[in-house]
Copies of this chain bind each other. A is one copy, B any other.
Amino acid sequence: MERVTAPPLSPTDRSRVRRHRDRQRDDRAELHAVLDEALVAHLGLVVDGEPAVLPTLHARIGETLYLHGSSGAASLRGGEPVCVTVTLVDGLVYARRWFTHSANYRSAVVRGQARRVTDPDEHLAALRAFVAQIAPGQEDYAEPPTRKELAATAVIALDLTEASVKARTGGPGDGDAVAAGDHRWAGVVALETRVAGVTTCPALPADTPVPAHVPRTA
């Protein structure tokens, strides 16, 4: 489903990064990577003229971003302008000054018009992608939806046309303080999301083997 020759990111005026232009990334692969790694997206809507931001499960297939209708996405009928933002915090930047503290992160912003998915094949493919996004392997191990379950799960699609990626990497920006005689420690604390524990459903025998595709503690 992945396009072989995806075009580079071509932000429109409003999706162009305004602050810290050096943090703008133009690589479509980087957009994909951010969307694919994140476990949650934040969906922005305008409701009665005011902003609303809802956490939403998402998944990407090729150049389309899908949003799971268990959140406010279910209220969308299609055609509404939306903004979906996905952020990964990769590290914390400890500096010599409050002012130069920062976070290393990658964030993707996708804007466009919401499209309600109605095609049954696309609908099923999106639900499969949602499962694979949060629990890879389960899309084959677990039972696909019944027709009723499919009808009960609204899915919103958004083309990855108007999208931008911003990232900060690297150490603190005030390294010149060292030459000036400031020897306080500074650096980066890298972060990662890890498995803290795996709990078997209490309805099952406790010794039910955990399948190999389920992640486990390191």
Give me the interface of A with B, judged by CB distance under 8 Å: 14, 19-20, 39-40, 42-55, 57, 70-71, 74, 81-85, 87, 89, 92-99, 101-103, 105, 107, 109, 111, 127-128, 130-131, 134-135, 138-139, 141-146, 149, 152-153, 171-172, 175-179, 183-204, 208-211, 214-215
Contacts and interface: CB of A to CB of B under 8 A. Distances in A.
Contacts of A200: 185-187
Contact of A201 (B102, B105, B175, B209): B175
Given A44-B51, A51-B44, A55-B107, A144 B195 contact: no
B198 A190 contact: yes
A57 B103 contact: yes
A67 B176 CA distance: 28
A87 B42 contact: yes
A51 to B, nearest CB: 4
A19 B101 contact: no
B87 A40 contact: yes
A49 B51 contact: no
- What are the 3 A-B residue pairs with the smallest beta carbon separation, nearest first? A175-B203, A44-B51, A44-B53
Copies of this chain, how many?
A: 2
A202 B171 contact: yes
Contacts of A98: 127-128, 130-131, 138-139, 142-145, 149
22 contacts: A39-B92, A42-B87, A44-B51, A46-B46, A50-B81, A51-B51, A51-B52, A52-B109, A55-B85, A55-B87, A55-B107, A93-B135, A94-B214, A98-B139, A99-B146, A175-B203, A175-B204, A187-B210, A189-B195, A190-B196, A190-B199, A191-B194
